[in-house]
Amino acid sequence: MATKSINTKVLVVGAGPGGYVAAIRCGQLGLDTTIVEADRHGGTCLIRGCIPSKALIHAASKLDDMRKHAGKGVLGIKLPQEPEFDLSGAVKWKDGVVDKLSRGVGSLLGRAKVREVHGWATFSDAKTCTVDTDEGEVTIHAEHVILANGSVATELPNLPFGEHVISSAEALNLPEVPKRLAVVGAGYIGLELGIAYAKMGSTVTFVEATDRILPLYDAALVRPVEQYLKKNKLKVHLSTKAQGVKVNKGVATLSAKSDHGDDLNIKVDKVLVTVGRKPNTQGWGLENMPVDMDGPFVKVDEQCRTSVSKVWAIGDLVGEPMLAHKGSAQGEMVAEIIAGQRRAFEPVAIPAVCFTEPEIIGVGLSPDEAKAAGYETKVGNFPLAANGRALSMEAGADGGFVRITARADNHVILGIHAVGKHVSELSGEFIHALEMGSRLEDVAGTIHVHPTMTEAFPESALSALGHAIHA
């Protein structure tokens, strides 16, 4: 079969949140655009990450809430018995959500007149790749190349993935709830999934190499999560390194050793390894381009240009934070630069949300980070226990709060953080205020709807100014 050849203005590799946004925006701007993807539309975030994990977290939380109504009940609502749970049914529902969104991405690409090639792209030089498709080999020559290859789960040498050791991708498709689950890594991915499986009925044990959970967040934000783990009897072994898994007569045991020399042997049905992700740089010809690297990542400037002319890289491939919304913003920017617009990737901050119990949101500098950067600050805290809407949704008793950090001299806001039930929905307001250069007075003087949890935001600003009304 003869090789098919395509010449295109823009070639996008990867249809994840960075790649498909870049391709759609290129198409909207009238650029002849081709996108190559070996998997389904949506990339890691949609297929095996953000969306499916949040769907299962929602199902687990709903189950957990219903259990509270069994017997004596709560809120005046009683169930005669505890609800039954079928993980395969939850997975089927989760897959339906993913399918709908994935099809939606395909429709958007089609509407933007983006040419799609399904298969694995392998580059022979910076502007040429071949793709093995079901219809045969396709060679693509491009003027511009946008690399959006994403990332893959990090595998530990002593814990290779297999029957008993799984990554987050496999954890989202288990046929049944494991009775005993060990989670190696107590960062946000491990805690999100571990807490969800505990709600489903697993006995969960966390094994973390560092001396604290969620090391990217400060102690005050993490404390309510620690309290939840303790209250719900989820075991956490800190300063402890997983050694390996042995199987004897069908029973798997995870061995671990603490920094104090203590040996642990944890009987498990599954071991979930969540020690991070690494850029997907292998197996597609990156070495043939070739571009400069920044450690394991592709090196780019503030416009996502690589060291090779008209080759761009975005998303997880170019470094932390490995977040979908960062990749999407970079993809949109690169498309507009190629079309002749003046753009640069210069966000004031990139928000991050941890969907634990309770949730954590972080935007900008924490008080400690601001101090380390040389700022004198004003810091305001407002407890969600003093917010009427939070209390009316059973969201005010978990130690949650909203915290705002601002410069002491001119009151310009440097960072906004919160922990508590439902606080992820406040993230848009937080980053908008920071990006617009708001001062404490701007937030404090903005009328917020009562009763809503958003009222905690101006109250935190008032607290920094020294006169919170409700706390």
Cβ atoms of residues 213 and 191 within 8 Å: yes
Q: Which residue has the tokens 């789960």?
A: 153
Pull the structure tokens for residue 453: 């949890």
Cβ-Cβ contacts under 8 Å for 175 (sequence gap 6 or more): 87, 88, 91
Integer angstrom CA distances of residue 243 from 207, 271, 400:
11, 12, 36
Alpha helices in 339-455 (DSSP H): 367-372, 388-392, 427-435, 440-444
Cβ atoms of residues 441 and 424 within 8 Å: no
Cβ-Cβ contacts under 8 Å for 254 (sequence gap 6 or more): 182, 184, 207, 242, 243, 244, 245, 264, 265, 266, 268, 271
Backbone angles phi, psi at 81, to 5 degrees: -155, 165
Cβ-Cβ contacts under 8 Å for 225 (sequence gap 6 or more): 191, 213, 214, 356, 357, 358, 360, 419
Helix (H) or strand (E) holding 379: strand 377-383
Helix (H) or strand (E) holding 333: helix 324-338
Cβ count within 10 A of residue 374:
6
The residues annotated as belonging to the active site are 450
N residues, the chain: 471
Separation of alpha carbons 270 and 253, rounded Å: 9
Whether the ω angle into residue 160 lies within 30 degrees of 0, i.e. cis, is: no
Closest by CA to 409, choosing from 374, 364, 433, 444, is: 374
